[in-house]
Amino acid sequence: MAIEGPTYVLITGIRTARSSTALDALQTSPFAKSVVTFKPDVTSADSTSTLLHDVETLLSKEGGHLAFLVNNAGMGYSMLALHLDDDRITQVFETNTFAVMRICRTFAPLMSTSGHGGTIVPYVFGSAYNASKAALHAYSDTLRLELAPFGVAVAVVVACTGGVRSNISAKPRCIPATESLYPKAVRDAFAGHRYSQAGGVSPERYAESLVKKLLRRGGRGPRSRWIWEGGKAGTVWLLDTFFPRTVMDAIFSRMYGLSKMERL
């Protein structure tokens, strides 16, 4: 039975604690009349509960349904594994992993009533960040099976190295020589670490391509559990699928100075 009424997409992470630029731009865009904004803290259980109440109120008022949940909120953290900060590690997991689990758990009942939907979960020097995303991938794979009986599709979006141009790595980083076991060649590579932007596509192009893939098969998305998207995604998929892991290891080792260290 088709569900009548407007279809809503809930997207987290449009506004950050430091900047509302993207949200402000959205509110002055041609889509402004179709956008309803909330200001939750996704790392807070109380704030997430308030968001659920606000969304339920909106759906009840408009007679609509929640069709897609996009977990876009997240934070990056680029640092050599031996120099990780405990507080930053906690922040990364709170935002990238635990908050997504909470959001999915909170809004899954609303999505199951719609009969369809997608839960989207949006590098060397990124051990803490990678660990948080690896946990999220494992969680999403299980969630995909558990929500399938309710008609809710779960897709993991793999935005590969060089994926999308953004400011996630814009802040300068450096490691004092006195605090590191790594030689100058590796520290210099880390300080100049901007690879995620070098081959990135524009956010607009990324979003357009991603939405097309998610809307396949009547909104159930692609059959594959992972969606590879972003600049160089095809190359990374090819290397990961058909070549031994040593090939990828060698590429990254050369890119970030680790191969030079091996010869020192």
- The residues carrying an active-site annotation are 129, 133
Cα angle vertex 14, ends 231, 8, to 5°? 100
Closest listed residue to residue 159, CA positions, set 126, 114, 193:
126
- End-to-end CA, the chain: 67
The dihedral through the CA atoms of 169, 138, 86, 100 has a sign that is positive
B/e letters for 29-68, b = 16+ CB within 10 Å, e = fewer, are eeeeeeeeeeebebbeeeebeebbeebeebbeeeebbbbb
Instruction: Pick left, alpha or beta for residue 117 (phi over 0 → left; psi -120 to 50 → alpha; otherwise beta).
Output: left
The residues, any chain, with a CB within 8 Å of residue 182's CB and separated by 6 or more, are: 80, 82, 175, 190, 261
Within 13 Å of residue 113, how many CA atoms lie on the same side as its CB? 13
Tokens standing for 222?
């692609």
Bridge partners (DSSP) listed for residue 118: 68, 153
